[in-house]
Structure 1
Amino acid sequence: MTLKNVIGIDHAVVMVRDLDKAAANWKRLGFTISPRGTHSAKMGSGNYTIMLDPDYIELLGVLVETEHNAPARAFLAKRGEGIERIAFTAVDSAAGAEEIRARGYAALGPTDFERPVTMPDGTPSAAKFRIFQWPIEEAPAGVRIFACQHKTRETVWIPELMKHANGAKRLKQVLIVSTEPAKDAAHLGRLIDRDARAEPDGAVAVPSGSDRADFVFLTREQVGRRYPAASLAGLPERGGAGLVMATSDLSAAEKAAGGSAVRSGDAVCVPPAAANGTLLAFVGI
């Protein structure tokens, strides 16, 4: 039975070592970057967001070492920069945590936190969240998952931040590399009560729910066959690999990314080395 309080992908978390440098890097690729946010003290982290519709990308960095961010620090130490976790949209985090506990998973949370936000007119406000996590060890192909309830959507999805020079509109796929794609896809399917489906090239997709982006599990070699012109230097053999994004204008995406962009079939790609360990593939809407 599908989870009632968890719908599709909300945002992808790209873990970075230097927040300000990462933000400048993604700005060079044609993204509009939110002002820097600082999370509650127990989180010990800060972020920049890249707002899409209905989802977004979060560039996340550790500002102060805390117990809460120990897994993120371990990720950076072992893997380096890249997609560290994926968030789902939670309708009600407390009820969602109970739903997965009823399925035998020891949910972490719910946890409330917030970050200050300066609105476009200069007034101070706050973005407030309530999250819960699946157990840390329940990480398909090493990618952690959690669910995020937005208590103040109006301070996150700000229209001025949703217009990008590269025409980016929304996430279509989250690419996860695995030496055993079918096994890891089935693992995720059990966690979120979704059925996996085989793709023509042997990859395995798991719908995240609603009209949101799909997860696609595939080997590193399969990624290379999908995007043969893009260098995969820096991608792991197992873990979060890339984001496929719909753009309103492929030419604009190519122009915005400049020398980092390569055409690969029907996609404009930015290799992981140019996007903090994340393969970016822009495709037409």
Structure 2
Amino acid sequence: MTHDIQGFHHTGIVVRDLDALERTYASLGFTLSPRSRHLLNERPGEPPVPGCTANRCALFGGAYIELLGIVDDSAPDPWHTRAMVDQHEGFRLLNFDTGDAEAANRRLTAAGLRTSGVLDLERDVDTEDGIRTMRARAVHLDPRSTPEGYVGIAQHLTREYVHQARYLRHPNGARALEAVLIVVDDAEFDAVVSRYAAVVQASPARRGHLTVVEMRDGRLEIIRSSDVERALPGEPVPAASYPAAMTVAVDDVAAARTLVEDNGTATRTVDGGFFVSARDAGGAGLTFVAR
């Protein structure tokens, strides 16, 4: 079997106030790429147009965490981000990495999943050689079929403009996005697990109260909403199903924890590391573990 998905491409935290989210992630010890405005198209074959969103990213060389905000309410919204934040802000986006968006789209469509088709994305980025245009392709699953969040497949066409070496060193020692935890309503749980297994072409395995889907690079953890208090005690519950947390690997857990706490954010101890509440991280719980 040919696996066109190898791991995470990026996760996304979506808000209206990008300035505040940037300050939060800088205080947590992440180096952020410069702010970049999006050029997007709504349908395959249409030319990308300047959208209402911009981003900054915490980059790890493989996957990245995107901080996405509304920066111009008067601009077009081809990817319907305003409707997303109107529902609720926070951890909303999950994209898997592919080297061939067309092949991934054909496979997903053949498996009975409704998709957007292959869409184009561009944004200008600052490089050490001047401004260059980052280009990517994306396939979105129909959000009506993914109540837990906005799920897609993305392909870098100019990876070198995104994962620039100067942005890969983080004061907190972050090195990789290791896992994403999704909370799923009990009634939808089996169907959601089966869908993700089909999307990434991997068999789910039970690990305690988690169901885990392992990829070559990273793992997806899925938990029933009735069990969520065991994994995320006291955490916000923004919807019946939702992406809840990420696991970030760092060089030195103790040093990362000291930095985060010295910058004014509370932490709690978890197996292998420490945890920052979604209340203090833009709507995404963050677990820091040693690499």
Structure 2 CA distance for partners of 1:265 and 1:107, relative to 1, 3 Å: closer
Determine whether 1:143 maps to 2:149. Answer: yes
RMSD between superposed Cα atoms in Å: 2.1
Equivalent residue number for residue 253 of structure 2: 250
Deviation at 1:101, TM superposition (A): 1.9
Q: Percent identity?
A: 27
**Please, which of 83, 87, 97 is the counterpart of residue 74 of structure 1?**
83
Equivalent residue number for residue 115 of structure 1: 123
CA contact (8 A) 2:105 2:117 kept: yes
Deviation at 1:193, TM superposition (A): 2.9
Gaps of 5+ in 1: none
Determine whether 1:134 maps to 2:134. Answer: no
Report the secondary structure of 1:232's partner residue: coil
Instruction: Measure, in 2, the Cα distance between the counterparts of 1:131 and 1:233.
Output: 30
Alignment of structure 1 residues 4-153 onto 2, 5 Å: 4-40=3-39, 41=49, 43-63=51-71, 64=73, 66-70=76-80, 72-79=81-88, 81-119=89-127, 121=128, 123-139=130-146, 141-153=147-159
Equivalent residue number for residue 42 of structure 2: none
Deviation at 1:73, TM superposition (A): 2.3
Report the secondary structure of 1:57's partner residue: strand
Instruction: Measure, in 2, the Cα distance between the counterparts of 1:105 and 1:82.
Output: 25
TM-score by length of 2: 0.86
CA contact (8 A) 1:166 1:255 kept: no
CA contact (8 A) 1:167 1:247 kept: yes
Equivalent residue number for residue 269 of structure 1: 275
Cα shift readout 1:88-130 (whole Å, capped 9, x = no counterpart) = 11211122212222222232131122111111x3611121111
Task: Tell me which protein shows more strand as a share of its residues.
Answer: 2
The amino acid across from 2:20 in the alignment is K
Gaps of 5+ in 2: 40-48
Deviation at 1:262, TM superposition (A): 1.5
Equivalent residue number for residue 218 of structure 1: 223
CA contact (8 A) 1:179 1:219 kept: yes
Equivalent residue number for residue 280 of structure 1: 286
Alignment of structure 1 residues 134-213 onto 2, 5 Å: 134-139=141-146, 141-180=147-186, 181-200=189-208, 202-207=209-214, 209-210=215-216, 212-213=217-218
Corresponding pairs, count: 275
Deviation at 1:233, TM superposition (A): 3.5
TM-score by length of 1: 0.88
Deviation at 1:191, TM superposition (A): 3.3
The amino acid across from 1:137 in the alignment is R
Instruction: Measure, in 2, the Cα distance between the counterparts of 1:274 and 1:221.
Output: 24
Deviation at 1:260, TM superposition (A): 1.3
Deviation at 1:50, TM superposition (A): 0.4
